[in-house]
Amino acid sequence: MQSKHCNMLQSWSRRGSNGTTSSTTNRLASINTNSRVETASVPMLRTLTSIRKDSCGSGTQECIPQHNASQCLSDNRRKSLLHYLIVLIAINFCYLQPASADQVVLLDTTREATLEWTRYPYGPQAQTPGWVEESFTDFVKGINWRSYVVCDVAYHNVNNWLWSPFIDRGPANRLYIEIQFTIRDCSLFPGNALSCKETFSLLFYEFDAATREPPPWQTDSYKLIARIAAGEGRFNQNSDVDINTEVKSIAVTKKGVYFAFRDQGACISVLAVKVYYITCPAVTENFAHFNETPTGREITIIEKQNGTCVENAEPYEPPTYLCKGDGKWTILTGGCRCKVGYEPNYVNKTCTECPAGTFRSAEVRKCVPCPPNSSTSSTASPLCKCIPGFYRHPRDGRHMPCYKPPGPPTNLTVLFVDQTSAIISWNAPAKDEFGMGQTEKYRSDVVYKIRCSMCNSNVMFNPSTDTFNETKLTLTNLEPVTTYTVQVHATNGISYLVDPTLYANETFTNSEVQFSNVSSTTTKNQQLDLNEIKTEHAEIIFTTESAILSTIFNLRVLAITSKDADLVWDKPVQSDAPIELYEVRWFPKPELDAMNKTALNTKETKAHIEGLSENTEYGFQVRCKTVNGFGSYSNIVYAQTHQPVSSVYDDSVQVRFIAGAIVAGVFFLVIFIVTTVYFLRSKHQDELDKKSSNHLPLPMDYASNEGLVVTYINAMDTTPIVKTLHSNVTTPLFGNSRSYVDPHTYEDPNQAIREFAREIDANYITIEAIIGGGEFGDVCRGRLKIPPNFVQDIDVAIKTLKPGSSEKARCDFLTEASIMGQFDHPNVIYLQGVVTRSNPVMIITEYMENGSLDTFLRVNDGKFQTIQLIVMLRGIASGMSYLSDMNYVHRDLAARNVLVNAQLICKIADFGLSREIENASDAYTTRGGKIPVRWTAPEAIAFRKFTSASDVWSYGVVLWEVMSYGERPYWNWSNQDVIKSIEKGYRLPAPMDCPEALYQLMLDCWQKQRTHRPTFASIVSTLDNLARQPQSLLTIRNSPENDGTQVLDTQRGHNIFISTDLWLENIKMSRYSQHFKEANLVSAQQISRLTAQQLSDMGITLVGHQKKILHQARQLDIVI
């Protein structure tokens, strides 16, 4: 409604006026041809000729400068002004809206009726008019502001000061000041201005309390924020008013601040001033509320805010949110979840109690009606109780229905019975017996128990278990002409709950539902015989047939093929009646059930069976029939199709011999292939060793007592294909399909640029600000318009080449682009392109908001969890693994050369390998150039031989920098002291609160023998394992200041054996404690006899670790 009225009032004001007016107290220092200064009362923000003649009414009089401008207004004009004043009041009310959620305004002059700021000079004794408070009015834009104006261009030594009132910063860490102003062009005062300038100074002074008088105005009392010029433009008598807007910010630490404006001879109107600070607004995420949080003192600082759970919620991990310098939240960790009995509202982020008749347990996401045969009458219920007569198993989910015990089996029937066996079957209990209705699902864990009267211990049951879930039973070894009574009992998981003594009342808590009797019930149920449980059952009675004395003997298989079999047997020795026929039956061996048996009748003592399945073992039986009935079956004879017996035994032996010969031939062929491959690889390995020794010589003192051991780790057999970040080309992630090409091999550096970099038109690039400087020129932040339509743009970093640079500097500058253009990996800085066809020459890369890693860590000291630091380290290792796979050696890996973007992704940068080290204190000059000794491997310092292994050493130092939040390696030691200490075995101590596993990884990277250091691929794997097993990070390395001395000295105190764990800890190999436990190595004698093969079998594959363990084991052997 308010907005609607405002729009109407603004429309009304536009119908009344089309011009811009100003207070009659506005001034302009006008200089005539005789250099005499007069003060004219005409609008300051318009020129002298901008007032139209018809503004004086209907006469022909022109408006001329004079002290009372209202004298040239007609009566109609006065009425019009009254009309405007009414409209201005309404419009001003419309514009006084609250500040946005991410800004807290401390001062806004556009909302003040009067300012009355402190000025100097001021008063009758002032030598210059100085700052004057006036009104700035624009009816079209709905503006009526109190402002300050100064225009003392006709005076010498102008020094006009204007102070804001004391501004209490409150919780702010950084204040922003937004100034709207205009500046006149000095061309308006040709030859007559004595001190015309087109800038003014903005300063500030922090103070712990507001005083009656502002602090001294001397220059050294204030800190200069900026010297401000007109960015939008300066106006003259032929132009409209150009309002400039400038926003500056300062870090504040005291109670409040004064802002000061200093004029030294410009014609300025300070129209509006707004002072505010930025906050990350109060939000509710993951059912945790985070209060409004002011941003940090620096734009790059991240403020950590702890959240509180909303009502009826509880934390599953402490909720934290990071507030960035631009007032936006990032990286939410942890959160809360609604308690059981309360339903989460993901839109409003609240927890609502479940109404009566519904419940919510930890197993379901929202309130649901009570499952069948259960109910609850209370709200916020975590469980629905079963109604009387129904039960729920303690291990069932709370959303499961309640059930009755099953009823008796149905349709119990005798399928077959003879003299010694019987088969009975039945159907499952009726569904309606479960109380769930015919269409409802019921418990499927029904099992059956058999009780048989007259069954002695010789009777066998199939299935033979006490309980089973099949609906058929076979009884064998029965007695002839005997009546048996068989009961089939049905039971399920809740049958034992029918006894009230076995099912205690449930107890509930607000956050968890528990059964107080679960363990005792389960234990008692395990010891409870089902005979003691009252269950429903079905009963059947049957009588076995009388015994027949005619029994078949000597059944045998004469021949069998893939489809047929020939059987023969002898007549019964005894028979109580003439034999009428023989019944032959057969069945596959696993199917002993009579329901699956096939039979034929014959009057002869032989039979031919057809239609058998191939490669199947069959069982065969025969019985005879007399007038008194069938006799018992003969013993089962088994035979398999495609496996003839007796008469073809010799053929079977021949087949086996042929098969054995084939297997032996294949075995010897495999042995030959393996031997050949091993020989060829050994030969290739020797060639690599020779090349390595030729290109990477090491002095003898770098080798251990056992000699120099070089280990080569084979790459993966197959290289996974991944999609690159910046293109649609797929390349192997760790393959060798691409190799790094040194741009120095090109005679013409421009050819390398054309091959590896993309030329960008300079018209598509906009430079916004200078963010740093380098050896070749400035580093800027800018915007790059991107194809295909070049409408959208992205943030980029722009490196420029200084004008007038030498041709060598230009080649070196473009060489870095040629190197960078060959890489495409998420953890390597990405080259957008270059500009070489216009000046200045530029390299365009992706923009990394948080700058270098070392500075970012120092600014955010202690604000990250260990797992977040591991993610950063994993990114660095992944990028270096990619570079290593491309055969590229960085040579200057350090935290200062790793950049961090807004998502905290780390990327390798700085590929200018031929450049001089910028900080001479971190460099050591050798015959070949400067080396950053604090990050460089000892063999690279001594012999300038750089390899991926030397990069691994540098990575260990980067790991130390990250865990110490940007601390300088080796502190203030000199370079010579660093080199000597490393040669003597000194290694950096563990940073404070550093996990033992990460410090052990540092020590692995700092192995003196470069071949003993891990590869970057194995470092990535190690960090992945640590991230997946955060419990391994709980062991903290407690390292005093001198713990780093001689960490690789293995001769001191390690030959004292107390236990395996302590011995491994003494030699810094405690990571393998579990390996030794699994191998059952518990005594010094066992460890002293270890071999390299045993260590490999135990999973200890790093050669450096094997040598270290074996060396210390031999020391144990000496002691023993």
Same domain? For 821 and 934 the reply is no
Helix (H, G, I), strand (E, B) or coil at 981: helix
Question: For the purposes of burial, counting CB atoms within 10 Å of the CB of 981, is it exposed (0-12), middle (13-18) or buried (19 or more)?
Answer: middle
Binding site: what residues are annotated?
A: 799
Same domain? For 811 and 871 the reply is no
Same domain? For 971 and 997 the reply is yes
Task: For residue 707, give every residue at least 6 positions away whose Cβ sits within 8 Å of its Cβ, in sequence order, or none.
Answer: none
- How many Å apart are CA 463 and CA 468, to the nearest integer? 7
The answer to whether 1100 and 1072 have CB atoms below 8 angstroms apart is yes
Same domain? For 857 and 783 the reply is no
Q: DSSP string spanning 767-789?
A: EEEEEEE-SSSEEEEEEEE-TTT
Cα 327–332–338 angle (5° rounding)?
120
Residue-wise pLDDT for 1022-1055, tens only, equals 999 988 888 888 888 764 444 444 444 433 444 5
Helix (H, G, I), strand (E, B) or coil at 228: strand
Is 138 a catalytic site residue? no
Residue 989 is given by DSSP the state P
Total of domains in the chain: 6
Cα 346–350–356 angle (5° rounding)?
100
The answer to whether 57 and 77 have CB atoms below 8 angstroms apart is yes
CATH of residue 836's domain is 3.30.200.20
Report phi then psi at 1024, rounded to 5: -60, -45
Question: 532 lies in a domain?
Answer: no
The active-site residue out of 892, 910, 922, 1004 is 892
- How many Å apart are CA 918 and CA 912, to the nearest integer? 12
Q: What pLDDT was estimated at residue 236?
A: 60
- How many Å apart are CA 421 and CA 477, to the nearest integer? 6
What is the number of residues in the chain? 1120
Note the maximum CA span of the chain: 161
- Would you tell me the crossing angle of helices 948-963 and 866-885 to the nearest 10 degrees? 170
Q: What pLDDT was estimated at residue 214?
A: 55
Binding site for ATP: what residues are annotated?
A: 799
Report phi then psi at 569, rounded to 5: -150, 170
- How many Å apart are CA 1021 and CA 1025, to the nearest integer? 6
- Supply 341's token pair: 């009995």
Q: What pLDDT was estimated at residue 700?
A: 29
Report phi then psi at 884, rounded to 5: -65, -40
Q: DSSP string spanning 463-479?
A: S-SSEE--SEEEEESPP
Residue-wise pLDDT for 1043-1099, tens only, equals 444 444 433 444 557 678 888 888 878 888 888 888 888 888 888 888 888 898 888
Residue 189 is given by DSSP the state S
Helix (H, G, I), strand (E, B) or coil at 951: helix
- Supply 512's token pair: 């968890």
CATH of residue 324's domain is 2.60.40.1770
Domain that holds residue 758: 741-847
Domain final position from 338, 359, 379: 338
Q: What pLDDT was estimated at residue 9?
A: 35
Question: 54 lies in a domain?
Answer: no
Task: Enumerate long-range contacts of 3-11, CB under 8 Å, 24 or more apart.
Answer: 3/94, 5/90, 5/94, 6/90, 6/91, 6/93, 6/94, 6/95, 9/87, 9/90, 9/91, 9/94, 10/91, 10/94, 10/142
Pairing of strands 483-491, 447-453: antiparallel
**Segment-wise mean pLDDT, segments of 10 residues, the chain, 1120 residues:** 39 37 35 31 32 34 35 43 47 38 88 90 83 88 90 87 92 94 82 78 85 59 87 60 88 92 91 95 94 91 93 94 92 93 92 93 88 90 89 83 87 88 91 49 79 89 88 90 92 73 35 30 38 76 80 87 91 78 87 67 91 90 82 86 52 63 86 82 52 34 30 32 35 51 84 89 88 80 86 90 84 88 94 90 93 93 91 96 93 94 93 47 49 92 90 96 94 90 91 91 93 94 89 73 42 58 82 87 84 88 83 68
**Residue 280, strand partner residues:** 293
Closest CA to 180 of 287, 103, 95, 108: 108
- How many Å apart are CA 217 and CA 9, to the nearest integer? 44
CA 650 to chain centre: 69
Question: 746 lies in a domain?
Answer: yes
Same domain? For 170 and 263 the reply is yes
Helix (H, G, I), strand (E, B) or coil at 557: strand
Same domain? For 139 and 200 the reply is yes
Q: What pLDDT was estimated at residue 1041?
A: 41
- How many Å apart are CA 931 and CA 979, to the nearest integer? 12
Sole residue written with tokens 């392109």: 833
Same domain? For 1067 and 995 the reply is no
Domain final position from 315, 338, 361: 338
Same domain? For 803 and 898 the reply is no
Closest CA to 876 of 969, 933, 993, 956: 956
Question: 227 lies in a domain?
Answer: yes
Same domain? For 880 and 1011 the reply is yes
Report phi then psi at 95, rounded to 5: -85, -10
- Supply 864's token pair: 């990250």
CA 258 to chain centre: 44
- How many Å apart are CA 149 and CA 987, to the nearest integer? 66
Same domain? For 867 and 750 the reply is no
- How many Å apart are CA 768 and CA 780, to the nearest integer? 7
Question: 506 lies in a domain?
Answer: no
Same domain? For 152 and 237 the reply is yes
CA 934 to chain centre: 31
Same domain? For 894 and 989 the reply is yes
CATH of residue 117's domain is 2.60.120.260
Report phi then psi at 495, rounded to 5: -60, -40
Domain final position from 235, 264, 280: 280
Question: 30 lies in a domain?
Answer: no
Q: DSSP string spanning 789-847?
A: TS-SEEEEEEEEPPTT--HHHHHHHHHHHHHHTT---TTBPPEEEEE-SSSS-EEEEE-
- How many Å apart are CA 1032 and CA 1026, to the nearest integer? 7
Measured between alpha carbons, how far is residue 499 from residues 517, 1096, 1115 in Å? 13, 59, 69
**Residue 283, strand partner residues:** 290
- How many Å apart are CA 1021 and CA 1018, to the nearest integer? 5
- How many Å apart are CA 471 and CA 469, to the nearest integer? 7
- How many Å apart are CA 146 and CA 26, to the nearest integer? 11
The answer to whether 505 and 499 have CB atoms below 8 angstroms apart is no
Question: 784 lies in a domain?
Answer: yes
Question: 314 lies in a domain?
Answer: yes
CA 199 to chain centre: 49
Task: Enumerate long-range contacts of 1072-1075, CB under 8 Å, 24 or more apart.
Answer: 1072/1098, 1072/1100, 1072/1105, 1072/1109, 1075/1099, 1075/1100
Helix (H, G, I), strand (E, B) or coil at 203: strand
